Amino acid sequence: MEEIEDIFVAAKDYLRNLKARGIQKDHILQSSTLMLLDKNNMTRQYIDDYLQENQIIIKDSIDISDMDLLIDFARIGVGVACVIKNFVREDLENGTLMEIPLGFPIHKREVGFAYKTTTKPSKSLAEFIHFYKTYR
């Protein structure tokens, strides 16, 4: 099992533009173009639950099918993207993207995978298991 953390990020210029329009830090999500994964995605469903539980009403959103595309759009200033923190660690460290502070943090999640050990795995599964074990 691995722990993942969902966060909202945006480019500095996008956040500067919001500030210039008088948008307060605690209203960034409601006042931005929010970029989220498609509604059928488990991460999206988790984030929709978070938004509903915290009574955050989104006015403008874009559904995107790919996490890499979400990140690219955030980098060029299209809006605020909900991404997995590990995927943008470098962008956060070098200042390309900024994490949006939240009044209520999004709880971390655990992800993992399961496979039958009673049957011989396919070559691709065996390679994936090897990769996973050596990556950790």
Pairing of strands 60-64, 33-37: parallel
Contact 54, 78 (CB under 8 A): no
pLDDT digits (tens, 9 = 90+) for 36-94: 999 999 899 999 999 999 999 999 999 999 999 999 999 999 999 999 999 999 999 99
pTM equals 0.83
As a whole number, the mean pLDDT across the chain is 92
Domain 2-135: give its CATH code: 3.40.190.10
pLDDT at 136: 57
Q: pLDDT value at position 111?
A: 80
